[in-house]
Amino acid sequence: RPHIYFDIHMRDARALGRIVVELCTEAAPLVVLHLMRCCLCDMHKKFLIRRLFPNLWLDVTLQDNGSVELHQPLEYDAKIVDHGASSYVLSFSKDHLQGFRHHMSFSISFRPLSVVNGSRVGFGHVVKGRRILDCLQSYGTKNGKLNRSIIFTSCGVL
Protein backbone atom coordinates (compact mmCIF):
# COMPACT_ATOMS: atom_id res chain seq x y z
CA ARG A 1 0.00 0.00 0.00
CA PRO A 2 1.31 3.47 -0.84
CA HIS A 3 2.40 5.95 1.83
CA ILE A 4 2.24 9.74 1.51
CA TYR A 5 3.33 12.46 3.91
CA PHE A 6 2.33 16.01 4.84
CA ASP A 7 4.55 18.51 6.69
CA ILE A 8 2.39 20.78 8.84
CA HIS A 9 3.27 24.29 10.07
CA MET A 10 1.50 27.11 11.83
CA ARG A 11 1.55 30.04 9.40
CA ASP A 12 4.37 32.50 10.20
CA ALA A 13 5.40 30.38 13.16
CA ARG A 14 6.89 27.00 13.87
CA ALA A 15 6.82 23.60 12.28
CA LEU A 16 4.41 21.16 13.91
CA GLY A 17 5.76 18.03 12.24
CA ARG A 18 5.07 15.38 9.63
CA ILE A 19 2.18 12.97 9.33
CA VAL A 20 2.48 9.81 7.25
CA VAL A 21 -0.64 8.26 5.74
CA GLU A 22 -1.12 4.74 4.40
CA LEU A 23 -3.62 4.78 1.53
CA CYS A 24 -5.93 1.87 0.69
CA THR A 25 -6.03 1.71 -3.09
CA GLU A 26 -8.76 -0.92 -3.09
CA ALA A 27 -11.11 1.34 -1.06
CA ALA A 28 -11.29 4.24 -3.56
CA PRO A 29 -8.81 3.80 -6.45
CA LEU A 30 -9.36 7.14 -8.22
CA VAL A 31 -9.23 9.17 -5.01
CA VAL A 32 -6.00 7.46 -3.93
CA LEU A 33 -4.49 7.89 -7.39
CA HIS A 34 -5.29 11.61 -7.38
CA LEU A 35 -3.79 12.10 -3.90
CA MET A 36 -0.68 10.20 -5.02
CA ARG A 37 -0.33 12.46 -8.08
CA CYS A 38 -0.68 15.62 -6.00
CA CYS A 39 1.85 14.42 -3.43
CA LEU A 40 4.26 13.20 -6.11
CA CYS A 41 4.26 16.71 -7.61
CA ASP A 42 4.47 18.36 -4.13
CA MET A 43 1.25 20.33 -4.62
CA HIS A 44 1.10 21.16 -0.90
CA LYS A 45 -0.33 24.65 -1.51
CA LYS A 46 -3.51 23.10 -2.93
CA PHE A 47 -4.31 21.30 0.34
CA LEU A 48 -6.23 23.57 2.73
CA ILE A 49 -7.43 22.82 6.24
CA ARG A 50 -11.00 24.10 6.23
CA ARG A 51 -12.44 23.06 9.58
CA LEU A 52 -11.21 21.38 12.74
CA PHE A 53 -13.60 19.89 15.27
CA PRO A 54 -11.64 18.90 18.41
CA ASN A 55 -12.08 15.26 19.39
CA LEU A 56 -13.93 14.55 16.12
CA TRP A 57 -12.22 15.32 12.81
CA LEU A 58 -10.24 17.66 10.58
CA ASP A 59 -11.62 18.71 7.15
CA VAL A 60 -9.15 19.13 4.28
CA THR A 61 -9.92 20.51 0.82
CA LEU A 62 -7.83 19.90 -2.28
CA GLN A 63 -8.37 23.04 -4.36
CA ASP A 64 -8.55 23.06 -8.16
CA ASN A 65 -8.30 19.32 -8.54
CA GLY A 66 -8.44 19.57 -12.34
CA SER A 67 -8.87 15.81 -12.49
CA VAL A 68 -11.59 14.86 -14.96
CA GLU A 69 -11.90 11.33 -13.56
CA LEU A 70 -12.93 12.72 -10.15
CA HIS A 71 -15.95 14.42 -11.75
CA GLN A 72 -17.37 11.03 -12.77
CA PRO A 73 -19.01 8.40 -10.53
CA LEU A 74 -16.42 6.86 -8.20
CA GLU A 75 -15.65 3.20 -7.71
CA TYR A 76 -15.33 2.32 -4.02
CA ASP A 77 -15.45 -0.41 -1.38
CA ALA A 78 -16.72 0.90 1.96
CA LYS A 79 -15.85 -2.32 3.80
CA ILE A 80 -12.07 -1.88 3.58
CA VAL A 81 -11.75 0.66 6.42
CA ASP A 82 -13.91 0.42 9.55
CA HIS A 83 -14.35 3.86 11.15
CA GLY A 84 -15.35 2.32 14.47
CA ALA A 85 -12.25 0.13 14.75
CA SER A 86 -9.57 2.82 14.73
CA SER A 87 -8.93 6.53 14.87
CA TYR A 88 -7.04 8.76 12.41
CA VAL A 89 -8.96 7.45 9.38
CA LEU A 90 -9.06 9.40 6.10
CA SER A 91 -12.49 9.40 4.49
CA PHE A 92 -14.82 11.26 2.16
CA SER A 93 -18.59 11.58 2.23
CA LYS A 94 -20.74 9.23 0.18
CA ASP A 95 -22.42 12.40 -1.11
CA HIS A 96 -19.44 12.57 -3.50
CA LEU A 97 -19.90 9.10 -5.03
CA GLN A 98 -21.22 10.70 -8.22
CA GLY A 99 -18.00 12.71 -8.39
CA PHE A 100 -16.42 15.74 -6.75
CA ARG A 101 -17.96 18.77 -8.45
CA HIS A 102 -15.65 21.68 -7.63
CA HIS A 103 -12.92 20.36 -5.36
CA MET A 104 -12.01 17.18 -3.56
CA SER A 105 -12.55 17.15 0.20
CA PHE A 106 -11.75 14.57 2.84
CA SER A 107 -11.57 14.27 6.62
CA ILE A 108 -9.17 12.79 9.15
CA SER A 109 -10.90 11.48 12.27
CA PHE A 110 -9.33 11.98 15.71
CA ARG A 111 -11.06 8.99 17.29
CA PRO A 112 -13.07 5.90 16.30
CA LEU A 113 -16.41 7.04 14.86
CA SER A 114 -18.60 4.01 14.22
CA VAL A 115 -21.55 6.33 13.63
CA VAL A 116 -20.10 7.36 10.23
CA ASN A 117 -19.90 3.78 8.92
CA GLY A 118 -22.27 3.69 5.95
CA SER A 119 -22.15 7.44 5.30
CA ARG A 120 -18.42 7.84 4.57
CA VAL A 121 -15.83 5.93 2.53
CA GLY A 122 -12.56 5.35 4.36
CA PHE A 123 -9.51 5.20 2.10
CA GLY A 124 -6.51 5.46 4.42
CA HIS A 125 -5.20 5.96 7.93
CA VAL A 126 -2.40 7.85 9.65
CA VAL A 127 0.54 5.59 10.54
CA LYS A 128 2.94 8.24 11.92
CA GLY A 129 2.36 11.67 13.42
CA ARG A 130 -0.67 10.93 15.56
CA ARG A 131 0.68 13.13 18.35
CA ILE A 132 0.85 16.02 15.90
CA LEU A 133 -2.83 15.56 15.08
CA ASP A 134 -3.61 15.43 18.80
CA CYS A 135 -1.82 18.78 19.25
CA LEU A 136 -3.72 20.27 16.30
CA GLN A 137 -7.01 19.76 18.12
CA SER A 138 -6.23 22.68 20.43
CA TYR A 139 -6.38 25.04 17.41
CA GLY A 140 -10.01 24.28 16.58
CA THR A 141 -13.31 25.37 18.13
CA LYS A 142 -16.47 23.35 18.72
CA ASN A 143 -17.92 25.10 15.63
CA GLY A 144 -15.00 23.98 13.46
CA LYS A 145 -13.27 27.35 13.12
CA LEU A 146 -9.49 27.53 13.36
CA ASN A 147 -7.88 29.66 16.09
CA ARG A 148 -4.55 29.70 14.23
CA SER A 149 -3.76 29.31 10.56
CA ILE A 150 -2.39 25.83 9.88
CA ILE A 151 -0.79 25.07 6.52
CA PHE A 152 0.88 22.22 4.68
CA THR A 153 4.42 23.19 3.67
CA SER A 154 5.36 20.01 1.87
CA CYS A 155 3.90 16.70 0.75
CA GLY A 156 5.26 13.70 -1.04
CA VAL A 157 5.32 9.96 -1.56
CA LEU A 158 7.41 7.64 0.61
For each of the domains in the chain, give its residue range(s) and CATH number, in order of start.
Answer: 3-157 (2.40.100.10)
- Dist. CA 25–CA 13, nearest whole Å: 35
Residue 39, pLDDT score: 95
Residue 95, pLDDT score: 82
Nearest to 76 by CA among 99, 105, 102, 47: 99
Q: Is the dihedral of CA 36, 38, 44, 49 positive or negative?
A: negative
Residue 103, pLDDT score: 83
Residue 18, pLDDT score: 97
pLDDT averaged over 10-residue windows placed end to end, the chain, 158 residues: 96 92 94 92 94 96 74 81 90 83 89 87 95 94 94 96
Nearest to 30 by CA among 70, 62, 64, 77: 70
What's the pTM? 0.89
Residue 67, pLDDT score: 67
Dihedral pair phi/psi, residue 42, rounded to 5°: 50, 50
Helix (H) or strand (E) holding 52: strand 47-53
